[in-house]
Amino acid sequence: MKRIVMKFGGTSVSNGKNICNVANIIRKNSKKGHEIVVVVSALANVTDQLIEAANKIKSGKEENIQKFVNKLFEKHISVINEAIKSEKIKKETKNKVKKVIEKLEKILKGICYVGELTLKSKDQVVSFGERLSSIIVSATLNDQKIESQHFTGKEAGIVTDSKFGEANPLMNFTTQQVINQLEPLLEKKIIPVVTGYIAADQDGIITTLGRGGSDYTATILGFVLNVDEVWIWTDVDGIMTSDPKIIKEAKTIDGLSYGEAAEMAIFGAKAMHPRALEPVIKKHIPVRILNVFNPESKGTLISEGPEVESKEVVKAIALIKDVSMINIKGAGMVGAPGSYAKIFNILGKKNINIMMVSSAVSEANISIIIRRNQIERAMSTLEIALLGNNSGNEVSYEDDVCVIAAMGANMKGSMGVASRIFTAVANKNINIRMIAQGSSELNISFVVKEKYGSLAVNAIHEEFKLNK
């Protein structure tokens, strides 16, 4: 018997049929004797719709609220009709949903009248997606004769600071409250269904957890309830060696260390946000990434220790598109003490995120990778700051490039990995424009022209036999 937190994402609960599927998974695991805590996201797309509606309503007409609220109600009612059989439970659930949506309507009206959407009120609005989905998932379990009870993050006892939009949990306070709320249920084999993503501050005002979202709720509960494992149910078989759209032979990775998983997320792989990993790292709790639509596949295990010790040096390869490379040349700026810091500072002030840096001190040259949609702002800013006054600086850019990142914990200290990577790429006659290694030494990333991106990824995939 294990104690497990299971988190189900938006696609897993996108309609009645999928919710029944989720209930089946929970039932099977519960039959095996596991103690289960369920965390759910909002129905697919509902969170985005809520945000969009709130933004529109703040400067819009009151009538639009009714329209939006009716549509939202219809959507959830049709899911209930599909997921739940018992007429009695159906009726109860519809009533609950109706009451919750009435509350939402009042809040939207408030926003409309005041004409202002603060981070605080936005968190309120957004929380309704999960409130509704948790009610329906819990009712579906009850309908299938599995005892269950639904909770908002606040009701479950998760307490955060008041940083609305991206709140941080107060772990000790949370531990005390969650144990009081949920332990008695688990002992009685009642399954709590908790809203992901949302919590409350010490005054009971709704907050949201921001980056990491519902996964973060799952790992916080895992930490607090000392679970054996956290299972993240998604719509893919686990974390892949590369994007299957680029590499047909890409396969699921069996095991990753926490560090590797965090690295993958930074490079945009469909993985967990590093923030959400923090609580499980502290208590060494393993996390599984599983597929709701293929529950028998073993997925990817994220953990530390012997299970993930493997011989592979490169475990995964990511291709990051939509980036641009800026080259800064010149004796005036580059090489002088503090000059890099100045460049980063200038760009930072304009909200331009630097994804990668590399420099060649001898050539007084620095290259920077940023998101492509920020290139105009970045170039204009750098030109204003660095050119003229006989500085001799030059700034130029290329926006037909992409970044390739090869990741794996065993790269650390393993000589020759870089040389194998670059040889594999060179053998395809691809010119490498820029190279950088993250300080963690868990990845080697480099830049090539975008048109050679998938060719380069394939070359490395082959070289390290990731398809085997």
Partner 1 sequence: MRIILTGYGVVGQSLIDIFENQKFENLKKYGFNPKVVAITDRGGAAVNKKGLDLERIKKVKTREGSVAADKKFGQPQAIAQSIIQSTEAEIMIEATSTNVVNAEPGLSNIKTAFNSGKHVITTNKGPLALAFPTLTELADHNKVLLRFSGTVGGGTPILEFAKKCLSGDKINEMQGILNGTTNYILTEMAEKRVTFKKALELAQKLGYAETDPSMDINGIDAACKVVIIGNWIFNKKFTLKDVKVNGIKNITLKELNNATKKGKRIKLIGSINGKPTVAPKEIRRNDPLCVSGVLNAVTFISEYAGKQTIIGRGAGGIETAGAILRDLLDIKYNLANRMLL
> CB of 381: closest distance to partner 1 in angstroms?
7
HSE of 391, CA atoms in CB hemisphere, 13 A:
21
Among 20, 107, 171, 346, contact with partner 1 (rule: CB under 8 A)? 346
Interacting positions 240-279 with partner 1 (CB under 8 A): none
d(CA 397, CA 371) in angstroms, rounded, equals: 12
Of 6 and 364, the one with the shorter C-beta distance to partner 1 is: 364
Of 336 and 360, the one with the shorter C-beta distance to partner 1 is: 336
Q: What is the DSSP string of 130-157?
A: HHHHHHHHHHHHHHTT--EEEE-HHHHT
Of 162 and 327, the one with the shorter C-beta distance to partner 1 is: 327
Of 14 and 381, the one with the shorter C-beta distance to partner 1 is: 381
> CB of 346: closest distance to partner 1 in angstroms?
5
> CB of 391: closest distance to partner 1 in angstroms?
7
- The token duo for 348 is 């930072």
**Total residues at interface with partner 1 (CB under 8 A):** 17
d(CA 181, CA 187) in angstroms, rounded, equals: 11
Interacting positions 352-391 with partner 1 (CB under 8 A): 376-377, 380-381, 383-391
Write the CA distances from 339 to 334, 349, 386, 397, integer angstroms: 6, 15, 10, 19
d(CA 242, CA 260) in angstroms, rounded, equals: 14
18-21: long-range contacts, CB 8 A cutoff, minimum separation 24: 18/292, 19/79, 19/82, 19/83, 19/136, 19/137, 19/140, 20/82, 20/83, 20/140, 21/292, 21/293
Of 385 and 460, the one with the shorter C-beta distance to partner 1 is: 385
Q: Phi/psi of residue 51, each to 5°? A: -65, -45
d(CA 225, CA 184) in angstroms, rounded, equals: 12
Does residue 69 interact with partner 1 by CB under 8 A?
A: no
For CA atoms 232, 235, 237, 239, the dihedral sign is: negative
Of 311 and 349, the one with the shorter C-beta distance to partner 1 is: 349
**By C-alpha distance, which of 222, 283, 153 is closest to 5?**
222
Of 124 and 381, the one with the shorter C-beta distance to partner 1 is: 381
Tell me the three state secondary structure of residue 371: strand
Of 255 and 332, the one with the shorter C-beta distance to partner 1 is: 332
Of 90 and 377, the one with the shorter C-beta distance to partner 1 is: 377
> CB of 359: closest distance to partner 1 in angstroms?
19
403-438 per-residue burial string, b: 16 or more CB within 10 A, e: under 16? bbbbbbbbbeeeeebeebbbebbeeeebebbbebee
> CB of 362: closest distance to partner 1 in angstroms?
24
- The token duo for 13 is 């609960």
> CB of 349: closest distance to partner 1 in angstroms?
7
Does residue 349 interact with partner 1 by CB under 8 A?
A: yes
Among 342, 371, 420, 449, contact with partner 1 (rule: CB under 8 A)? 342
The region of 92-100, 243-251, 315-323, 342-350 touching partner 1 under the rule CB under 8 A is: 342-350
Among 393, 443, 454, 458, contact with partner 1 (rule: CB under 8 A)? 393
In this structure, the strands spanning 3-8 and 35-40 are: parallel
> CB of 325: closest distance to partner 1 in angstroms?
16
> CB of 433: closest distance to partner 1 in angstroms?
21
Of 184 and 388, the one with the shorter C-beta distance to partner 1 is: 388
Please name the amino acid found at residue 380: S
Does residue 217 interact with partner 1 by CB under 8 A?
A: no
> CB of 383: closest distance to partner 1 in angstroms?
5
**By C-alpha distance, which of 315, 295, 288, 272 is closest to 464?**
315
- The token duo for 302 is 């994220």
> CB of 350: closest distance to partner 1 in angstroms?
9
Interacting positions 395-454 with partner 1 (CB under 8 A): none
Residues binding partner 1 (CB under 8 A): 342, 346, 349, 376-377, 380-381, 383-391, 393
